[in-house]
Chains A and B, each alone.
Chain A
Amino acid sequence: MEKRDFEIKQGIKAHFIKTDLFKTNMISCIITVPLTRENVTKNALIVSMLRRGTANFKTQLDLSKELENLYGAAFECGIDKYGDNQILRFYMDSIHDKFALNNEEILKSTMNILLDIVCNPLLENGTFKEEYLKLEKENLAKIIKSKIDDKDLYAYETCISKMYGDTGFGLYKYGYLEDLDNITVANLTEYYNNLIQNSKIDLFISGDFEEENLKNSILNNENIQKLRPRIENYILNNEFTESKDIPENQNEVIEQMDVTQGKLVIGMDVGAKCDKLQFKTLLYNIILGSGANSLLFQNVREKESLAYSIKSVYVKQKGNIFIRAGIEIPNFEKAVELIKAQLEIMKKGEFSDEDFAAAKEYVKSGIVAIETEQDTGIVYYIGQEISKTNTSIEEYLTNIEEITREDIIEIANSVKINTIYFLKN
């Protein structure tokens, strides 16, 4: 795998990830903006509006038919939260040209369609269509309300919002119901025009293609030519929101809903936040709660049979670790106690050498996946781009290799519980 970047214009980059491991080419076009209470709902709505049609493919039906003719090229779009930034993501996945039955240029066509969706929306008298906006507002409202459907996810999101409140990372990526009323075709179109001309835009293309050809076809694309250069720093969120300082005796939040199984989330702050420490925290998190060898899995699930699912997740952009478990409701206190005991084991360095070695192997295995899974590769490089780091896979491996037991103990002692959230019936 080789990766090369080129600047299409200031603030707009293409990232070529060349690999011959797949039968597909994958394109991801992302727009990155700061996550703010003011714009979060609008951004989510923009994604829904753009997929409704372009100046060239006026309806979703036209788009779907065109993609089916390109051997079922799959188009998807969505909204992601990445630390204090929000990502508008547009994505296309199609089979390699060599598998075409009639020599079609599939990659070139899907690239053009994707750019048309992002940059050339269907407008009527200069604005988005009234009728589309009405429906997409209703649809977004349904998505926002559906937050409660997946109880695990609901518990996780709620814990985050308890920790961060209504700013940056604490916001819900799909936005808020009360914001929808004030959005009109006029102000949303204005917002979009501003967004498309001023935001950081990145194109990631993974697959087996001729670089110069693709570069030329991007540079010659009409939609790309219409875009102005922009100052990249303007758009990324340089503000780093901090989690709330919550006193230890007030950090428990219990909510009731109709659930069979209780959902427990423990949000924790990791004291250290610089680059080198992220690798260490990553490894700390594996030993604590990722995979079958982790302390949480072994002691909470295997030894005490308290949970079927238990894991910890590291959000490196924010320096948080979240422990997530599905437990029987009366076992709440017992489970929290047992989890706290695992944190103590980490602090005292009482994890075994085998656990330490196994965690390194686990991370290494994940690093290999960056090259062997096409979407994992793109997601990795998106992360690198947004966090303005440029860690190659080799460097990543070396950084992990160099970590010592003492490093992990140091991290363990900087970890502090911020919020304990429990959803029960």
Chain B
Amino acid sequence: MQTIENSQIQEKIYTQKLSNGIKLIIIPKKTQKKYIIWGIKYGSIDHRFKVNEKEIQVPDGIAHYMEHKLFEQENGTNSLDVLSSLGVNANAYTTNNHTAYLFEDNNNKFFEALDEFMNYVQNPYFTVENVEKERGIIEQEIMMYDDYPDWKVYMNAIKAMYHNNPINIDVAGTKETIAEITKDKLYETYHAFYTPDNMAIVVCGDFEPEQVIQEIEKRMTLKNTNQTVKRLYEEEPEQIVKKREEAKMNISMPLFMIGYKDEITCENQIKKDLALDILFNILIGDSSELYQSLYEEGLLQSEPTFIYENSKTYSHILIQGQSEKYDQVIQKIETGIETLKKNGIQDDVFDRIKKKLYGEYVKSYNDVGAVATSFIQNYFREINPLDYFEEFKNLDKSYTMQILNDVFKPEKQVVSIVKSK
């Protein structure tokens, strides 16, 4: 067991490699709430792969379908119901690069719930009937997303950036693709990816680390297989697909999203996260002159949001906002970027934003669920969140400026608009 202590934020973290190879991260916290999240490095982008030389293409949306179906048990029960009846809040989610199963316990039923939890993740039970039954529910979920303008503006930005990378497909698939999902395909995919070397578990709450390790080991049956699995990704050109994509929906005010397709680099992700966060704040954050002037002119009512998504096969940043005069706002943001490149960052502004980010970092350790989720997400990005404070201290203006020049390139920019009908 490894122990890492961060005295600045007064947290101690324990990590252990379990006997089958799964990485376990324990973050003890004195609170009645206990949280566990089990992550699998398998998401919607992994739709083509090779198992021992045999190439397999699975229908879009299968990772998400699996997440729904894994709760089904051979004895006819559904683990979600079993967990709920213990009073724990159980859930699961799928993203483009991982799937996660989790529960939160407030009733001192953690280890009781752990029985069911570890049982269902390790023992899939797919039948023709139970797979069929889920189709209607997932179709409804897909339709629900179709009515979300935020989702539309995001997917269109992604599609404008990526030619081939499967991040350009919907996580849940479409009505057509999920029609092709069968029990055999689910089993095949499960056995290819639900293996210890693709997994990590994070627990957060009032735990004795030694005890948790034992309790989890005790319930662990999963073994690595001797098959070799290779994920296949299409070659992705550096250029964007198209400059602009527009859609129309029944909304009161248009949404806009600016995306910058970024190069995939192996550099320090925490440092880059921080630099981008600082840049975004300086550019269009709460305390920026640009945001304040757009607000005064009635062009923006709230600050745009900022997202940085990256993995080994894609990398981009997105700025999303809402405005009637979106083209004016986009143009002013572009001018802001060029001005910042030319004039550089003022010292006092840089230091102030750093103070803000430090505060946000401390706050991010408040809630057991948020802590566990961020550890799992960062694990699959190959980031150790504990390095954050060290990187934070060392972050300087010149690196931040370098990121500005590397990422915000006009020829890599796309714009996605959802207009009002």
**A positions within 8 Å CB-CB of B:** 21-24, 59-61, 64-65, 67-73, 93-95, 99, 101, 135, 138-139, 142-143, 145-149, 151, 257-261, 291-293, 298, 301-302, 305-309, 326-328, 354, 357-358, 360-362, 364-366, 368-369, 371-374
Contact = CB atoms under 8 A, between A and B. Distances in A.
A305 B287 contact: no
A135 B366 CA distance: 37
B81 A298 contact: yes
Contacts of A305: 133-137, 140
Contacts of A306: 136, 140
A299 B6 CA distance: 49
A22 B30 CA distance: 10
Interface string B246-257: 000111110000
Interface of B: 8-9, 30-33, 78, 80-81, 83-90, 105-107, 109, 133-141, 143-144, 146-147, 149, 249-253, 286-287, 289, 292, 295-296, 298, 301, 352-353, 355-360, 362-363, 365-368, 421
Given A305-B136, A372-B33, A72 B301 contact: no
B298 A139 contact: yes
Contacts of B253: 142, 145-146, 149
A361 B86 contact: yes
Contacts of A139: 298, 301
Contacts of B301: 139, 142-143
Given A261-B146, A372-B368, 17 more contacts: A71-B358, A72-B356, A99-B359, A138-B298, A143-B301, A149-B253, A258-B249, A291-B84, A302-B78, A306-B136, A309-B140, A358-B86, A360-B87, A361-B87, A365-B87, A365-B89, A371-B32
20 contacts: A23-B362, A23-B363, A64-B286, A65-B352, A68-B286, A68-B353, A71-B362, A72-B355, A72-B359, A94-B359, A101-B358, A149-B149, A149-B252, A257-B250, A292-B84, A293-B85, A305-B136, A305-B137, A308-B140, A372-B106
B136 to A, nearest CB: 3
Given A64-B287, A73-B359, A292-B81, A364 B87 contact: yes
B106 A369 contact: yes
A143 B322 CA distance: 12
Contacts of A64: 286-287
A357 B252 CA distance: 45
A70 B287 CA distance: 13
Nearest to A151: B147
B138 A358 contact: no
B84 A258 contact: no
Contact of A368 (B33, B78, B296): B33
Contacts of A354: 85
B362 A95 contact: yes
**Most chain A CB within a 10 A radius of its CB, from B87, B88, B89:** B87
A369 to B, nearest CB: 6
Contact of B140 (A69, A101, A307, A364): A307
A148 B149 CA distance: 12
Given A99-B362, A142-B301, A305-B135, A361 B149 contact: no
Which 10 pairs between the two chains have the least Cβ-Cβ distance?
A: A361-B87, A305-B136, A71-B359, A72-B356, A72-B359, A358-B85, A368-B106, A308-B140, A64-B287, A308-B141
Given A60-B295, A261-B144, A261-B146, A372 B31 contact: yes
